Amino acid sequence: AVNYHYGSREGLEDTLLTYYVEPLNRERIELLDALEAEFGATPAPIERIIETMVKPVIRNLGEGSIAGIFFLKLMARCIDEHDHALPDSILKPYKRAVSRYVAAIRRTFPGLSEKTIVWRIHFIFGAVNHALANGQNLYNISLGRSGATNPDYILRSVIAFASAGFLAGEIDSLDAPAS
pTM of the entire predicted model: 0.81
3-class DSSP assignment, residue 7: coil
Distance CA 104, CA 106 (A): 5
Q: Give CA separation, 22 vs 28, 73, 106, 156, in Å.
A: 10, 17, 25, 24
CA distance 119 to 170: 11
pLDDT in tens, the chain (179 residues): 656 555 666 666 666 666 777 888 889 999 999 999 999 999 999 999 999 999 988 887 655 565 666 666 666 666 566 555 666 777 787 888 999 999 999 999 999 999 999 999 999 988 988 887 777 888 899 998 988 778 898 899 999 999 999 999 998 665 555 55
Distance (Å, rounded) from C-alpha 103 to C-alpha 100? 5
Phi, psi of 172 (to 5 degrees): -50, -50
Neighbours of 137 (CB within 10 A): 11
Per DSSP, the residues of 87-127 read PHHHHHHHHHHHHHHHHHHHHH-TTS-HHHHHHHHHHHHHH
- How many beta carbons lie within 10 A of that of residue 70, not counting itself? 13
